[in-house]
Structures are given as structure tokens and as C-alpha cells.
């Protein structure tokens, strides 16, 4: 498939290539088999002098919120250099030098906050796991790019209108959130944390510091989240014209994202692996072939309140790719 599609033909020998993928959450085995990923990454390594595997840290607490533990988990899940041929690099996006702000001036996102490593890369190859998602109906190439390459501030901006909320019954007045807030937007009142939304800059430090899940993101509607993901994807690929490729594994198609720290049910049979240089086309094709195998819109059945076409239509409207495609089966 790699040879027939020439999806890796965008890579030149001098390129620094970021291979973007999800290494899986602890307790969840829905992520792509590292040996399958290794077939791709070893071909990439043959084409260029500098390539690496990478992901970004999470907005929510867990092992993937800090770079060192995130990398350890990736290695535990089998993404070692022996298997993939590449090193795993996960930047600490609490450091200013690892952040980039990309102006796109679109309807929902004016400035996207991206982990700099992806901005500085000469090419991006995204290895995606196609599956369901509670907010976006399905997650594929666009989700891997838009949400997956964003800093924690960027992830927060995509999920809500910046300021987190406090679940008072979970707050134990430990003060951890106050210590990490750079804008002095949090104080304790009656032994409960209170966020001054006028001062909040949306850095998400408090969410990562809170050990009791008192700092919480009330997500915007699925429509807003999907459209923001599309606009963030555009920011990631802004200077990557003809320098990006996408490979999607439509296997282990679970109801929810690989970010869940538990197994979740499969909702569709395995249908195969797809490749394209268009992130919109590959997501639309993946959606179509999975639904055809199921004989119905299985993602709508799993998440009746969401319409996954929102992200695809918006992505096409803003020039990210095309909903039209030719499916060549090998």
C-alpha cells in the first residue's frame, strides 16, 4: 500500500519528519499495534536523515500529562526504537520554547496554539487510528492533527471558551491550582477554589495540577469542537503544502477515543488500512467504508447527538482538503 499510494513521496532526504500518532492511554489497548506502525516508520527512516515519533501531552490528569511519564508509557506500549526504528519525542509544552502561535484568523480560531515541534518539522506523516468519539462522532486524521498537535492551551480552547469550571464538591482546598496559575486568576473563598474568568488566560495549568478533578472543562457543543478541530488542523498544515501524508488504521474500531483509561466496546469490524495525502478525503473514505461494512451509520448509532460530517464539511470549506475521493482497493 505504501508503494502503490506513494503517500510517503512527500518526504525528501533533508526533511525533518514528525510522525504524529497516539501511543494509547494506560488501561486502553485500542491504539495501533506498534509493529504495524513500525512498517511505516522504517520506510520513513529510509527516506530521510531525521525522523521521530511524537505526540503531545494531555489536558486531563493521568500519565500522559507530563512528558517523561508519557514517553515511558509509549515505550511500555511497545513503541521502542527496536520496533519502530525511531525515537519518541514528547515536548514539554509548559515551556515557552516548545510553543508556537499560528495566526489563521478563521471564524472560531484566530490564533492556534501548536506544539512547536510540529510547526518546525519539514514534513508530517500522521498515523491515525479511526474510531468513535463522544464529541466528534468519529476520530481520524483531523482529530489526530487538530487536537493532537495542540498545546494544552490549544486543547482547552478547542473544548471550551477558555476558563475551566470548579466542581466545588471535589475541591479540597489544597491550593495546587493557585501555585501554578500564572495570572493569579484563582483564589480560595470559603475553602473552595474560585476562578476569575476575566483574569484566566486559558493555560490549563490548573487542570493538570488538580488531583481531585475539581477543575473541569464543560465542553462546548460537538459542532463547535469539530469546527475548531478543523481550523486547528489547518494551522498545523499551514506551511506543509505537499509535505504531509496520512495513514489511517480502520481496525479495533471502538466506540470511544483511545484516551479513555479503560477498554471500550468495538462497534464495527476491521476494514483495513487507508492512505492519502488529503486529510479530509481519508477521513471521509474511512467513514464510508466502515459504515458500508456495518450496513448503517454506526457512528451515528453510537453517538446519536453528534454528526461527524460537521468537521469534514468545515475542513473542505476552509480549504483543508476535499470530500471527493477515488477509492483504490489493493
Per-residue model confidence as pLDDT tens digits over 236-275:
999 999 999 999 999 999 999 998 888 889 999 999 999 9
Which numeric CATH code is attached to 161-216? Answer: 3.30.70.20
Q: Is the pLDDT of residue 317 over 90?
A: yes
Assign 162 a pLDDT band (cuts: 50, 70, 90).
low
Res. 213 pLDDT band, cuts 50 70 90: confident
Q: Is the pLDDT of residue 222 over 90?
A: no
Q: Enter the pTM of the model.
A: 0.90
What pLDDT is recorded for position 220? 74
Burial of 107 (0-12, 13-18, 19+ CB in 10 A): exposed
Task: Please say whether the beta carbons of 249 and 22 come within 8 A.
Answer: no
Report domain extents, the chain. Answer: 2-158+221-317, 161-216
**Backbone torsions φ then ψ of 325, nearest 5 degrees:** -155, 160
Using only C-alpha atoms, the chain has a radius of gyration, in whole angstroms, of 19
CATH tag, 2-158+221-317: 3.40.50.11440
Determine the Cα–Cα distance for residues 231 and 225; give it in Å rounded to an integer: 10
Within this chain, domains 2-158+221-317 and 161-216 share the same CATH topology: no
**How far does CA 313 lie from the centroid of its chain?**
19
pLDDT at 203 over 70: yes
Per the prediction, the chain carries an average pLDDT of 95
Reported as a pLDDT band with limits 50, 70 and 90, residue 3 is: very high
User: What was the pLDDT predicted at 208?
Assistant: 80
Per mean pLDDT, which range of 48-62, 87-101, 195-209 is the poorest? 195-209
The torsion angle over the Cα atoms of residues 161, 91, 273 and 135, rounded to 10 degrees, is: -20
Angle formed at CA 55 by CA 49 and CA 57, multiple of 5 degrees: 145
Q: What is the reported pLDDT for 169?
A: 95
Q: Report, as an integer, the average pLDDT of 39-61.
A: 93
* Beta strand residue intervals within the chain, DSSP E: 16-20, 50-54, 88-89, 99-103, 111-115, 123-129, 131-133, 137-139, 165-166, 186-189, 192-195, 215-216, 244-250, 272-276
Chain-centroid distance of CA 208 in Å reads 17
pLDDT digits (tens, 9 = 90+) for 102-157: 999 999 999 999 999 999 999 999 999 999 998 899 999 999 999 999 999 999 89
The predicted model gives 90-109 an average pLDDT of 96
Using a pLDDT cut of 70, give the percent of the chain over it.
99
pLDDT at position 163 over 80? no
Residues in the chain: 330
Amino acid at each position: 500500500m505504501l508503494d502503490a499510494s506513494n503517500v510517503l513521496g512527500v518526504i525528501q532526504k533533508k526533511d525533518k519528519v514528525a510522525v504524529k500518532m497516539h501511543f494509547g492511554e494506560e488501561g486502553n489497548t485500542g491504539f495501533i499495534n506498534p509493529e504495524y506502525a513500525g512498517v511505516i516508520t522504517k520506510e520513513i527512516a529510509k527516506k530521510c536523515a531525521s525522523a521521530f515519533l511524537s505526540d503531545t501531552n494531555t489536558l486531563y490528569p493521568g500519565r500522559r500529562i507530563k512528558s517523561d511519564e508519557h514517553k515511558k508509557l509509549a515505550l511500555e506500549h511497545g513503541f521502542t526504537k527496536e520496533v519502530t526504528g525511531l525515537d519518541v519525542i514528547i515536548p514539554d509544552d509548559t515551556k515557552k520554547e516548545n510553543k508556537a502561535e499560528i495566526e489563521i484568523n478563521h471564524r472560531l480560531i484566530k490564533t492556534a496554539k501548536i506544539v512547536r515541534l510540529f510547526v518546525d518539522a519539514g514534513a508530517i506523516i500522521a498515523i491515525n487510528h479511526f474510531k468513535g468519539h463522544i464529541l466528534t462522532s468519529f476520530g481520524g486524521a483531523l482529530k489526530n492533527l487538530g487536537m493532537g498537535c495542540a498545546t494544552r492551551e490549544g486543547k482547552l480552547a478547542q473544548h471550551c471558551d477558555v476558563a475551566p469550571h470548579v466542581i466545588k464538591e471535589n475541591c479540597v482546598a489544597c491550593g495546587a491550582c493557585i501555585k501554578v496559575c500564572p495570572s493569579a486568576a484563582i483564589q480560595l473563598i470559603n475553602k473552595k477554589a474560585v476562578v476569575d474568568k476575566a483574569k484566566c488566560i486559558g493555560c490549563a495549568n490548573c487542570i493538570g495540577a488538580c488531583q481531585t478533578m475539581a477543575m473541569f472543562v464543560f465542553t462546548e457543543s460537538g459542532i463547535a469542537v469539530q469546527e475548531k478541530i478543523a481550523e486547528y488542523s489547518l494551522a498545523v498544515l499551514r506551511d506543509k503544502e505537499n509535505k504531509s501524508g496520512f495513514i489511517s488504521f480502520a481496525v479495533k474500531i471502538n466506540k470511544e477515543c483511545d484516551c479513555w483509561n479503560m477498554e471500550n466496546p468495538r462497534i464495527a469490524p476491521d476494514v483495513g488500512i487507508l492512505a492519502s495525502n488529503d486529510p479530509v478525503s481519508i477521513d471521509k473514505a474511512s467513514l464510508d467504508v466502515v459504515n458500508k461494512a456495518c450496513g448503517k451509520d454506526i457512528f451515528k448509532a453510537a453517538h446519536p447527538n453528534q454528526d461527524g460530517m460537521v468537521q469534514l464539511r468545515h475542513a473542505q470549506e476552509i480549504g483543508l482538503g476535499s470530500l471527493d475521493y477515488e477509492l483504490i482497493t489493493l
